[in-house]
Amino acid sequence: MTATASSTPLGPELEQPLLAVEAALNQLGDALARRDAAAIEQHAAELHQHLARAVQSFGEAARTGSVPAALRNRLVRAGGLLAAQRETLARGNASLDRALDVLIPSEPTGLYGAGGKAERRGLGGGSFTA
């Protein structure tokens, strides 16, 4: 990969931000596996910064048509890994939300209850039985 990167003038300039993105993705993945909230927050912020630099560098290089194929492929793989980590976080959040809904039910909305019948709040008017 480095041979391809050094064969173009922008190879090293593009490889540095890409290496930073790859390292940040690996660190974030490790933090996610450990479920270390502080490390996840830190590495996510670092990844955001590195991604911004890489996108800027690759965007400038793409305008001149000089992005080496090997680096482009690595950037695509990094994007795939980022999408996979995002999906993992989304699933974890959804699972946590479901668990919280079971443990702490939300307030009745006044529309429909769990059985499909309208829920009524004691707002003064009730039904009378003769």
- Ordered by start, the domain boundaries in the chain are 2-103
Give the residue with greater pLDDT, 33 vs 118: 33
For 90-110, write each residue's pLDDT tens digit: 888 888 888 888 888 776 666
Distances (CA, A) of 43 to 8, 20, 100, 122: 31, 11, 27, 50
Give me the chain's average pLDDT, please: 80
Which tens digits make up the pLDDT trace of 66-83? Answer: 788 888 899 899 999 999
What dihedral do alpha carbons 107, 112, 117, 123 form, nearest 10°? 60
**Statement: residue 2 has pLDDT above 50:** no
Note the pLDDT of residue 7. 44
Q: Which residue has the higher pLDDT, 112 or 50?
A: 50
pLDDT for residue 5: 39
